[in-house]
Amino acid sequence: MTIDPVNLTADLIRCESVTPKEAGALVLLEELLAKAGFECNRVDRGLVSNLFARWGTGKTLGFNGHTDVVPIGSLDDWSVDPFGAEIKDGFLYGRGSTDMKSGVAAFAAAAIDFVQNNPADGSIVLAITGDEEGQAKDGTLALLDWMNDNNETINHCIVGEPTCPENMGEMMKIGRRGSMTAYFTVRGIQGHSAYPHRAKNPLPVMAELICDLTSFELDQGSEHFDPSTLAVTTIDTGNLANNVIPAECRATVNIRFNDMHTSEELSVWLKEVTNKIASKSDVEINMEIQVSGESFITALGSFSDLVSNSVYSETGIYPQASTSGGTSDARFVKDHCPVVEFGLVGKTMHQVDERVSVNHIHQLKAIYANIIKNYFA
């Protein structure tokens, strides 16, 4: 059987799998893969559904992706049913059409086609999660934990996230910046604004702390990475009265860091700055840190060349090897095996009227098919 990746994408879009709902997406994929000869295992953890599917034995090429999607926002803002999978003007519309049900459909279709026509000389693994858009604690991490517990290995992996900014084939990801978030709470003493000497105002202290953090240059970039960034994402007091000095102020800072830093080193720096400000003020400053992942890079070599050449054979473009953008589950996969990301044009992901070119879905399946064929050549 030959799988049409556009039809499969449409079927997946009709599954309203907003994180962490499975909504039938993994059930659909499991049925298709099992029928094609894959040994399938559900690796559910907590509220999250995950699927591990293997065909064959020996040298293993893996594909990783997710079927969960972000919420649609306001339905009134959409010109189409966000879960209707409508095709118009050459584009398939729907939540997850770009990020990344089309990627999952393309690599599943390419893998199924390959195993129907080739002897089991080597192995293909599909590791598909229902939790990439959420906390991502029970998704790909659960799959990797299960693999370790069951002696399952992958030699190389493709993550099918959308990687191309504008044109199909122009970019693959060989690494990602790390991500960490610091949550600050400055606690003082509430008081009347006419008597500031009787209160301890947390706001000037927070302002000084944020100023010191944002004025510091973390670095100027490295060979493969742009400069690290620090962004203040919120400052809140919850104070509705103009004559009350608040007792507390909160702020959140997100850092995207390159390979010149580790989260541990940056945590030490944040602590030093916080302690300096606290030592000369009369208020309490608390800090909590959450690390989403460390920066990483996959060394350029035979595997990245295989991906690049496969993209070129279908698009006439050699993709730029990039580390730009946010985080992805590649940050987890890299601890298991070398990983490269390649997928569709991501311009409309997470947007109202999210859509993907129908031609690009077919093209992506062909690229994945070339990667599989050349990997086992």
Is 132 designated active site? Answer: yes
Single-letter code of the amino acid located at 202:
P
Hey, CA dihedral for 349, 353, 110, 128, is it positive or negative? positive
3-state secondary structure of 313: helix
Look at strands 320-322 and 91-93 and give their pairing: unpaired
CA 21, 67, 164, 124: dihedral to nearest 10 degrees? 150
Residue linked to tokens 């940050």: 331
Contact residues for 169 (Cβ-Cβ < 8 A; gap 6+): 311, 312, 314, 315, 316, 317, 319, 367
Active-site residue (options: 131, 132, 161, 259) = 132
Consecutive H or E run containing 123: strand 122-129
Q: Could you say which of 22, 30, 68, 161 is catalytic?
A: 68
275: its two tokens: 């302690």
193: left (phi over 0), alpha (psi -120 to 50) or beta: alpha
Query: Angle at the Cα of 107 (from 338 to 81), degrees rounded to 5?
Result: 125
Residue pair 208/291 in contact by the 8 Å Cβ criterion: no
Angle at 219 between CA 213 and CA 223, to 5 degrees: 155
Cis peptide before 260 (omega within 30 of 0): no
Among 336, 337, 322, 334, which Cα is nearest to 294's? 334
Beta carbons of 189 and 287 less than 8 angstroms apart: no
What are the residue numbers of the active site?
68, 132
